[in-house]
Structure 1
Amino acid sequence: MLKKIFLLLTLSTPILTAAEKPNILFFFVDDMGWQDTSVPFHTEVTQLNKDYRTPNMEKLAENGLMFTNAYACSICSPSRISLMTGQNAARHKVTCWTLRKNVSPERGNKNFSPPEWPFNGLQPIGANVERTTEATTLPEILRKNGYRTIHAGKAHFGAKDTPGADPSNLGFDVNIAGSYMGGPGSYHGDKNFSAKWRGGGTVWDIPGLEKYHGQKINLTEAITREAISAIEKSVAEKKPFYLYMSHYAVHAPFEPDRRFLPNYNNEKWNNHKKKYASMIESMDKSLGDLLTTIDRLGIAKNTIVIFMSDNGSPRENPRNLPLRAHKISGYEGGTRVPLIIHHNSLTKPKTRTNTPVIIEDIFPTILEMAGVKEIPKSDGLSMNPILDNTELDRSKRPLIWHYPNLYDMPPHSAIRVGDLKLIYWHTNQKIELFDLKNDIGEKQDLAAKRPEVVSRLAKQLSDDLRSKKALMLTNKKTKQPVPMPDKALSR
């Protein structure tokens, strides 16, 4: 069993009354790449920005602050657990995706064995389930501070048949369609949101939406309707809410939202891109419907909206140029994501910031926004100072990624400090160095040209991983863990 994390740090955050507490909408998209939007997060408009339609994201960006250097983990469950706990993946150690109890998704490797990571996922304190991590969660803290906490959509925190599979056990008062699976059986109500149509098992069936079965309704729309009802109830009861609007979209299976598919009849596009574009527009409509609801209920001035994705776009989708690679990769295409925040009191319209931030920063940010007095110590840094000062200098702050797993992409660890990023590939112990300011596509490896920087960043990364007791692969031949990057460098 991994260590239980619940160390409280008393801060001078003011205590807010129920009337003063802001509503918080965290709109979380699954598998949406940095460029999978008509909002240009790059310094120039790209082809995908021209191809996709996200008018409600445009509206949110018009009114809020865009983070052009925002990051998540490269894969879903780690990002979601970092968000819930404020812990970097190297610390909470759920570094790959979860599904079935006591079953890892990893594949065999003739030279290396995976670490004993907690593939049963996140659990509430005291659950005592093997191969898990336990923590007091973001919604749990918000609930104790007067919020109604609403989960809508994808959970993917804990494995099937564990307490963490149910968001209600992790601090949510309301659970809409959330369970252990990372993707839906289907996006179509006339397929009962089930994988039966594609020969899949019931493990992918979406719970709690039976009233939509048999209807020609998209899953994204059904979840949005239920979320709107939950908002209306909170407002009627004069209860501040935290809505974790966590869509299954735009994750596989790639099924079109039939309402929007006619918008994408470009003969040069393949069928996959057309389907995916309709899924993106479907997700964007959900955002618009929620923003309209907030306006209609007269709570817009007291509602904070945060939009983010959990990792980069998968390999099946059009590449998020100029970024390199895709989901699960250690390159920017795997981890750089769209992030927009609208805070009526802090954010200025049409603003951008280049300050690098990472998924665990959401934890202290939201708790501060909610006026929570005692905020658990975390690996994240609040983004609220950036909202007030978009030029805030955090160039010396390291961002850390850790993926010691044998699933789909090579295991790696990485660190970004300022504009410099070092990647350490575990199996061949190769180190790469990139200058993201001048080479966002990570085309020029500078490791051989700048050995002093490699040495410094390798030590900084290694020290950080050691401090978090990060897990590593084991070399089957030597029976020893893969060395940390500084040790590999000295060989």
Structure 2
Amino acid sequence: MTRGSRHLAVLVQWGWICLASAWLESAAADARPNVVLIISDDQAWTDYGFMGHPAVRTPHLDRLAGRSRVFRRGYVPSSLCCPSLASILTGRYPHQHGIVSNDPPLPPGLAGAQRWKSPEFVQGRKWMNNALESQPTLPKQLVAAGYRSFQAGKWWQGHFSRGGFTHGMTRGDEFQGGRHGDEGLKIGRHTMVPVFEFITESKKEGAPFFLWYAPMLPHDPHTPPDRLLARYLPLTPSPHVARYWAMIEWFDETVGQLLAHLDRERLTQDTLVVYMTDNGWIQHPDRPRFAPRSKQSPYDGGLRTPILLSWPGRIEPSRWDVPVSSVDIAPTVMAACGLPVHSGVAGIDLRDARALGGRNAAFGACFTHDAVVLESPVSSLRWRWGVVGEWKIIVPHAAREPGDSVQLYHVTKDPHELVNLAPVEPRRLDRLLRAVDAWWDPSRQRTAP
């Protein structure tokens, strides 16, 4: 072999080695995607362009939906923020992870922020923080597999590290306004820089990352930029509704900024983006608060959310109308990242067509805003509910809702739950009641696990 041919052979060999190395690196990247979890705060399932709202503009979420697997009948198990977020983190229902309310029992005789700085509240919050810390949360499992992770936005459970994050914004000082986010609540409303810096640093380090982006948007106070409010004031007689709609577009703008940063860093193809809301909201037209049958209620106005999964080249854009749940988020992410799904997870992998083919129901329970007895989920229970196929049942807990009765709705034909069919569908009612009892029978659980 001549010197020239040997040189050529060496070059070819090195070329194959480089190609093989690049392929292996690419395969590793495919097996370990970055994960961006986007969670809006207090938003109705109807209030998106891609869900058909006639006035609300969500162009960035619409584009994300266009490249996503879209679950139009997604649900959160609880219509309260704190237990809902804990279910996303753990893949478990509130009565399983033990965080069923937003706040611990509050001492009587104190008003407003005084209650949240009282020793009783601080001790109760510590109990709730410990309850989450004892769980194998999604961030903990990803970090153990080599991921960097970042918490930004709404966060109830103390310092970000208690949830398993390596980096974050919330410090969790109860005496300095740390009830549900402190510094973390600046994200979206005031800045996006911490999120951008984390993504860029992760890329430089060559590490996969998990981002929790849960801004307090469109949550009140509804203080949108004037330029957005001016767009909506002519579209509704209610200034409160106009402010809420403008807040949604403001949130959508931040989503656009986040997705654009992924594009700039050339990370879009290697990133699984998940979107949902923590609970629903129907804006009261006459006052700056939510209307009945929305937040804190067992109706779809408080529980339903679209769920989006986007991973270009790996998840085919499609539309699904099977009932799915936020407890499915953790196992979906874990499976996408090549991690085993532990036995305590209640959900399924939403990428798995076979699992989806066997899914026909979603369940949950609504509890008091302030816990009654922290160690006893049943003590705070107000309603259980179940969606089975096209139907939904709401089951009141007599101890907390003694004047209420079981309700039954054909939600695919009556999406706003206006016609209670319980009196005329006794057999169907009985079947759904048995399904809810099979999911969770509170008479068999008195204390938190």
TM-score by length of 2: 0.78
- 1:31-46 equivalence runs, <5 A: 31-40=42-51, 45=52
Match of 2:64?
Answer: 60
What is the correspondence of 1:65-464 to structure 2 with a 5 Å cutoff?
65-72=69-76, 73-98=78-103, 103=106, 120=125, 127=130, 134-156=134-156, 158=157, 165-177=158-170, 179=172, 202=177, 207-208=182-183, 220-266=188-234, 268-316=236-284, 325-349=293-317, 351-373=318-340, 375-386=342-353, 392-395=357-360, 398-405=361-368, 411-426=382-397, 427-428=402-403, 430-464=405-439
Cα distance, 1:365–1:268 mapped onto 2, change above 3 Å: closer
Supply the RMSD in Å over aligned alpha carbons: 3.4
Separation in structure 2 between the aligned mates of residue 68 and residue 180 of structure 1, nearest angstrom: 38
What corresponds to 1:13 in structure 2? none
Sort the Cα spacing of 1:79 and 1:121 in 2 relative to 1 into closer, same or farther, 3 A. farther
Once the two structures are superposed, what CA deviation does each residue of 1:344-382 show, in whole Å capped at 9, x if it has no partner? 233333x21001111111110110111113534311112
Bigger radius of gyration, 1 or 2? 2
- Residue segments in structure 1 that go unaligned for 5+ positions in a row: 1-15, 108-117, 159-164, 182-200, 211-217, 473-491
Q: Distance in 1 between matches of 2:369 and 2:188?
A: 32
Structure 1's 97 and 85: CA in aligned 2 closer, same or farther, altered over 3 A? same
Partner of 2:74, secondary structure, is strand
Contact persistence 1:355–1:393 (CA under 8 A): no
Tell me the equivalent position of 1:190: none
Structure 2 counterpart SS, 1:120: helix
1:59 shift after superposition? 0.7
Q: Render the CA deviation track for 1:241-299: whole Å, top value 9, x for unaligned.
A: 11010111111122123453333341744332232222211111111111111111111
Q: Is the 8 A contact 2:31 2:336 kept in 1?
A: no
Who is 2:4 aligned against?
Answer: none
User: Partner of 2:16 in structure 1?
Assistant: none
* 2:34 aligned residue (19, 23, 46): 23
Pairwise CA distance, 1:133: 7.7
Q: CA deviation at 1:440?
A: 1.7
Cα distance in 1 between the residues matched to 2:211 and 2:143: 12
SS at structure 2 position matched to 1:168:
helix
Task: Identify the residue that residue 184 of structure 1 maps to in structure 2.
Answer: none
Structure (1 or 2) with the greater helix fraction: 2
Aligned to 2:54: 50
For the 8 Å contact 1:22–1:369, the answer to whether it is kept is yes
Distance 1:318 1:325 in 2: 16
My pick for the range that moved more, 421-430 or 331-340, is 421-430
Work out whether residues 33 and 338 of structure 1, in 8 Å CA contact, stay in contact via their aligned partners in 2: no
| C-alpha contact 1:94 1:121 (8 A) present in aligned 2 | no
CA contact (8 A) 1:18 1:239 kept: no
Provide the rounded CA distance (Å) in 1 between the counterparts of 2:244 and 2:143.
36
Q: State, as a whole percentage, how many aligned pairs show the same letter.
A: 25
CA distance in 2, matches of 1:371, 1:458: 37
- Contact kept? 2:385, 2:436, Cα under 8 Å: yes
**In structure 1, how many angstroms separate the alpha carbons of the residues matched to 2:67 and 2:314?**
11
1:219: Cα distance to partner? 5.0
Q: TM-score, normalized by length of structure 1? A: 0.71
1:147-168 deviations in whole A, cap 9, x for unaligned?
1011111112x3xxxxxx1111
1:398-426 deviation digits (Å, cap 9, x = unpaired)? 42211242769992111121112111122
How many aligned residue pairs are there? 392
Whole-angstrom CA distance in 2 between matches of 1:64 and 1:406: 34
Out of 420-429 and 63-72, give the one that drifted further: 420-429
Q: What secondary structure is seen at the aligned counterpart in 1 of 2:256?
A: helix
* Change in CA separation of 1:91 and 1:429 when aligned onto 2, cut-off 3 Å: farther
Give the letter aligned to residue 161 of structure 2.
S
Q: Give the Å deviation of 1:390.
A: 11
Partners in 1 of 2:207 and 2:365 — Cα distance? Answer: 39
Gapped runs of 5+ residues in structure 2?
A: 1-26, 111-122, 372-379
Q: Offset at 1:305?
A: 0.8
